[in-house]
Structure 1
């Protein structure tokens, strides 16, 4: 074992003896080396200490695996037997000793709530048009409660005290004493308690509850706690700044009276408040262990002096929320080049010049590989222009944590699964059927497919029926192969688990079609495998499609890149690190990223370093983001740790900015935009005000991009996948009509999305009305009868008559969710009765209902229908547009294209 050179503070941290140790380790100061060396030091110097008695905790499976690997390489196999684990893995295994349980990540918890929507009996936190609208807020609230060790009983008691206090102050204005607010809080309290009850009854563990339930288990089981304290005589914690109250209390209990707890972290890199990380982990440690030893690692081995000067100036503005406001990083590295600020007129110029700069650096020999460059951004959608610019120049790039759900290969695969699973011909899957038929294997042409779509609309059939029943003369070459394909896989789908025949399906579809598609394809395949092993009962395709629908509705993504922080995995104390559930990270290896520009969010870049860093899109409202308060907040009275000070959102965003700056080894560029609509980030303004000497602002200009060489025959290569073929078909002009007719709703669709208009109204792909639109159709149809009931209402039975009208018009199908259907029925009756009573009181005289009109202009005929015109007392005429959603304000109505056109039609 060769000696490792350590500086004096590192050596002191490694050789610290007994008792609590707080290591404040700045960016690039070698904190992982210190942890590994301390493990070896303890094993070599503490008499009779066994490797299994050392516990090292962190937040990511990859970090735990890396620590174990480095310890084994440095100190041999005995060091590899130490317990390296994430917090969640450790607690999951601890709780598993008390009984079997299944882990739920945030998306799975959302799905669990969605499936139990009826039992939740939501009122305030239910949106009829979007039944799952507020479930993410409820999940996040429950997680914050667990982070702060707040139980449902404790929260309920708080609400009861608040209600009693408000009652005692009746008549006197008091913050938080609004009756509606108390009712909302009680609903949250009830749902939180029910969620915990249902999960416990079904043996489920959310990520948040793993930690709090482990703490509760240790509090309730003194003998178990004693055994664990005896087993783990030394505890080390990495990334301590990201711990929350529950995790800190777990550490306190495990360390016991020995207090051999060594924590390492950097308060300037605390960037996970949205996951419940406490803003004051270091303060809590110092208060709980006043006898602790504090060691500061401030010598940076990564960045140049000029980069550190700018980074230090940036984080200095966070003086209110820093554990050590005077902390500064020093380095023996070279001064390095100036830190540049690129300022552009718009996002196109920013993207084009950045791509040009990267390409020229490579071509001129300034860099040896494209992978020396990393472009870091605040949010995934910020990279879109840059991706286009890199592609145009043929520059290879790799996107970390890329969500593959919307990539063409995955959309083709999901569409095929939906068509196979749609043996009953659900009209909702016509879009999937169109995508599958666009696959080149089936040799379907756009003209025939468009004709089938139009026939389905005019004959009021579903698209599958039209294709299945088409006459022999309409056969296309691939028809029999397509029908046989569906027959075989539908037979498998009814009897066999999806995971068993999924490889057969992908092989028959020829997936993946290229090396470029392989990572995304592998990620989705692993997603299916994990679902089959951990998240289903029957494993049939029908169950997967329901799960995947909810998964996407909840905002779930199947990501490439690093696993999510806090992802659950087995403790790393064996040769192979196993993961129970994590974002896909093995699909793209480090080797696969070599030679490619690295694109990622700043959060994904945490813990990484790059030769050259470009911090991208430093624009107000983009970085820093606009603060959005949680819809359901944990009351300050229930926080177990110190409350944040100052503008904590901006301070956390500034810490994230600091993380971005300190990823750079040799060069750093800060890229921004300045125009009347976009202004540079306040972080750049503050740097300008402080005036660090190594900041150079320029206004680069990009050169024109050389267009790609056209094929010799003038034809582009044939599209190989369904998505690309559909794009080609859409780009082809549709034969014009003699007179172009456009309805008001079609005009609205076109203004919203031209592509949506093209498929819906030119291709006429048949899709069923979504529940909100179906509800509107029902109410529209009922209103004509309701007006007649208003005129004849002499016996006081108006509401009963309206109920009969609504029941008669209510369809047997169309609302897939029973809770949503019940809420819509209640809302429909309320709206119809309200409108009828209002018109009855006003004494209106009906003039027209569903009055058609047309407006001709320049070869275009605009058609529409006014819902109702009636005369009101005083001689005026009122135009009524039936709306079942939120009423428009007068300002919105004044700007409405629809209302404007109706007014013009009335004047004709």
Structure 2
């Protein structure tokens, strides 16, 4: 007997007899309920069906746990349980029965595993000096796609052989440019094939395997041992799959093998909600099902119990633009009333958008809506930043889903302590630790120590020790908690040599007085991080700090996360990405930043494209990226139950997102069901908000989010500290350089940290390499004044000047060293083949140019005289060669030209970026008008600096920023 009332379509699905069943279930149609009720119905009605004869597969552990709970609640007292688990868990269980004992690595650990063995991969084309592990992200994704499509290294190697054979057969008919491009493509494919095979060998030799390989391993087992497959087929008489649209080819092959006649396979999903193509899934799973089971029963759940008529109408118009054939499936019908219109907001800028939306959220809460019944969705996490600032300013409680505990203030503090125990010369970590009130370290003394470190070319730790011996500031470091901190670090360092990481972490927590924190969330963060340490210890060799810090560095670089529990505060507005919102529903939903290049998101081509020739599933449509983005937007729209707000940021209707156009494409719906709101321009209350009001509330316990004060052992005022106005020079002059201006334009807060607060960073591989290469080039021209230098002379100088500082490991250092010598060999050969007057060349010419009350300083790498007061200005580059447009927009070259004209009375008729990587120069010129524009840009930046505008600009560049550990933009609220 069914426990819940079902509609006719749901009842048909639940009571379906034998044979394959495909249930296409639209959003809000009771999909999960149907699966659960079908399990209950089968157990109650099928004679002789034991719970262990039923297999239900999901895609997340959370979904499996929820399904188990529902079934257990409806059928208490079962002697055994139905097998409800994820695909990965099922395959692992199958393999374990056959003594599969390899350690499974997730995507992050695979990245780390290969990063620690880079030298064995023998990269050539895909070798990247500054980021040795950059290629591994793309390689990992490519491996996953191969596993999804059941492509083994040998299969890919055969494909590459065929590709090369086709190229050789027609190479003679190609012109030199085409032939060169195809030769390069063959070389790239050969390298990927070799690395693919080598990676599998390394994993196998170490007794490891990947989660993605579980599917191919299972199928391989069944191919070699048919009896093992037969046992599974006899055991599982009924198989059910939730979220079927997320199925990839390999998973479907598992299902197809299991579901033998009468093929009691029930698949439930919605092809309009297939949003995980990046994981290998696609809406093509439904075609695979129909092709494999041509006589299957197909049912449609089209009654929506979630959204109002207007919301559902707008969503239907949107998804219809993906081109589903008319009549292929019925339109969704809601059981709810018409409801308010869909609100289409248009704001001129992000600040106005944030102010209006938060104002509306405050209004909804004031009218009785719970904060947790309001969701703000976004395509990318950075799009929420302005809204978060405005929510803080308005003191509106909120929580952000999908965060890592590593972004919490308290764990960022503890990681900083661990960094210092590992290496006391970690300047940024020490800066963060000294901000804790516990150490009583005034900013005046901190500034004096930074200045001393800059003068003495030493670390902050060394500068502090110098102050300890001989105070040089008005505040004596001996009156602070420095000695206590130093003693703590020494105690922890001694412990780290003999104790495993978990014990060292416990000791750190105890020493800081955090063992009995009253804050429940902080305790949960500790538990999550300690569990992370326990898991790491189980796979480590030494279990000590040194090994862990190397692992943790790679973990962060690989994009690893430690998921934090979802907050359950009923007063908090819910912020999350659209992907995280899948399966959820809220009375009121705001969708942020539906603008061109944002939603739909710009397509990013994979570095290693999976060949269509190897695809085993249905071929994707040509516009698959736009279709998937539209499905993702459809998911966002259908999370709303009663009120839906779609917000765009654009100054003109001509620059709207295509999805806004989609919503307005039905004139009748646009006129009746959509209300356009032109958001008024708001004073930018979110700008310059590092010292906004709610941040002050954090100082006394972050009462906006929690009611319990935090101890003074960790620093809760990072944003307040970062927002303090810096001191300007006594004479009011501002010293700038091209690098400083570029730093400000990239991120004003980074500029402040580096140029005003003078927080030193550690040595970096690229800078170390750049320094020795520049010195070697200078040495060449110094030798050239007396004779034609030999490469061996430059090699000797290069090796003597080499410093092993800033490199991630020996592999990166040796890779850089080899590359440097190869580049210098080519540089010597190229320069020796040219006639030049070495005596006239000026090297590293320093200039100081006054622009009003601005002093613009810099150093020109090389000035080559061309006669008649004309010159070529050269800036040597050690990075990746860039196109000519890079020289045309280079601020560095513009500043060089400005200095040459105004200070040196030279006419810079040629400005060159000389790339040592390929020993090619890219040249350009600057007109007087362009130089005036450069001056205006510099003056504009100076005005912003004087106005104390130092907002962080979180984004892609943060990946290379050393100041992330002390940046408030990377500090997430609890």
Relative to the length of structure 2, the TM-score reads 0.84
> Mapping of 1:217-366 within 5 angstroms?
217-320=221-324, 325-365=328-368
CA separation of 1:818 and 1:710: change in aligned 2, threshold 3 A: closer
What secondary structure sits across from 1:861 in the alignment?
Answer: strand
* CA distance in 2 between partners of 1:527 and 1:348 (Å): 40
Deviations 1:181-220 (A, max 9, x none): 0010010111111111111222222222122222222222
- For 1:189-204, list aligned pairs within 5 A: 189-204=193-208
Q: 1:710/1:765 Cα in 2 relative to 1: closer, same or farther (>3 Å)?
A: closer
**In 1: Cα distance, 2:57 partner to 2:450 partner:** 58
Name whichever of 333-342 and 350-359 sits farther off: 333-342
**In 2, Cα distance between equivalents of 1:637 and 1:658:** 31
Task: Note closer, same or farther for the CA distance 1:751–1:659 as it changes in structure 2 (3 Å cut).
Answer: closer
Distance 1:740 1:267, change over 3 A: closer
* SS across alignment from 2:821: helix
CA spacing shift, 1:871–1:287, aligned 2, 3 Å:
same
> CA contact under 8 A between 1:730 and 1:758: conserved in structure 2?
no
| Greater Cα shift, 488-497 or 93-102 | 93-102
1:821 corresponds to 2:799: no
1:338-360 deviation line (CA, Å, top 9, x unaligned) = 22212222211111111111111
Task: Give 1:583's aligned residue.
Answer: none
1:696 aligned counterpart, secondary structure: strand
How far apart are residue 878 of structure 1 and its match? 2.5
Aligned mate of 2:460, from 463, 482, 487: 463
After the TM superposition, which residues 147-546 of structure 1 pair with which residues of structure 2 at under 5 Å, given as runs?
147-173=148-174, 178-320=182-324, 325-365=328-368, 367=369, 369-422=370-423, 425=424, 427=425, 429-469=426-466, 470-471=468-469, 474=476, 475-511=478-514, 515=519, 518=522, 521-522=525-526, 524-526=528-530, 528-532=532-536, 534-546=538-550
**Equivalent position of 1:62 in the other structure:** 62
The one of 634, 637, 647 equivalent to 1:671 is 647
Q: Is the 8 A contact 2:411 2:526 kept in 1?
A: no
Whole-Å separation in 2 of the counterparts to 1:260 and 1:276: 25
Look up the match of 1:655.
631
> Relative CO higher for 1 or 2, CA cutoff 8 Å, sep ≥ 6?
1
Cα deviation for residue 530 of structure 1 reads 4.8
- Find the aligned partners of 2:654 and 2:529 in 1 and give their Cα distance: 41
Counterpart of 2:876 in 1: which secondary structure? coil
Partner of 1:576: none
In structure 2, how many angstroms separate the alpha carbons of the residues matched to 1:80 and 1:103? 28
- Map 1:549-588; keep pairs closer than 5 Å: 549-560=553-564, 587-588=565-566
Task: Mark the CA change 1:863 to 1:74 in structure 2 (over 3 Å): closer, same or farther.
Answer: same
Comparing 170-179 and 383-392, the one that deviates more? 170-179
Cα 1:843–1:815 shift into 2, 3 Å: same
Corresponding residue of 1:841: 833
Q: 2: CA distance between counterparts of 1:645 and 1:275?
A: 17
Change (3 A) 1:835 1:420: same
CA distance in 2, matches of 1:45, 1:822: 69
* Counterpart residue number, 1:906: 900
**Contact 1:316-1:325 at 8 Å conserved across structures:** no
Aligned residue in 2 for 1:582: none
| Secondary structure of 1:85's aligned partner | strand
Going from structure 1 to structure 2, the CA distance change for 1:594 and 1:875 (only over 3 Å counts) comes to closer
Deviates more, 1:445-454 or 1:462-471: 462-471
Structure-2 residue corresponding to 1:134: 135
Q: 2: CA distance between counterparts of 1:609 and 1:716?
A: 31
Aligned counterpart, 2:855: 861
Provide the secondary structure at the position in 2 that maps to 1:495. Answer: coil
CA contact (8 A) 2:404 2:562 kept: yes
Give me the whole-angstrom Cα distance separating, in 2, the residues matched to 1:687 and 1:100.
53
Unaligned runs of 5+ in 2: 702-711, 904-974
**Aligned twin of 1:43:** 43
Cα deviation per residue 1:118-150 (whole Å; 9 max; x = unaligned)? 111111112111111111000000000000000
Give SS of 2:563's match: coil
Judged with a 3 Å threshold, the aligned counterparts in structure 2 of structure 1 residues 476 and 883 are, in CA distance, closer, same or farther, namely: same
Aligned to 2:721: 728
Distance in 1 between the 2:682 and 2:172 partners?
70
Match of 1:567 in 2: none
**CA gap 1:824/1:619 in 2 versus in 1, 3 angstroms:** same
Q: TM-score normalised to the size of structure 1? A: 0.90
Unpaired runs of 5+ residues, structure 1, are: 561-586
What residue number does 2:908 align with?
Answer: none
Shift of 1:821: 2.0
* Equivalent residue number for residue 627 of structure 1: 603
User: 1:356-387: CA deviations, max 9, x gaps?
Assistant: 1111122233x2x1222111111111111111
**Aligned: 1:776 with 2:770:** yes
Aligned-partner Cα distance in 1 for 2:131–2:333:
53
Shift of 1:95: 2.4
Residues 378 and 592 in structure 2, CA contact (< 8 A), matched pair in contact too: yes
Change (3 A) 1:288 1:616: same
- 1:616 offset after TM fit, Å? 2.0
Secondary structure of the residue aligned to 2:412 is helix
Cα shift at 1:726: 7.5
Q: Distance in 2 between matches of 1:765 and 1:664?
A: 47
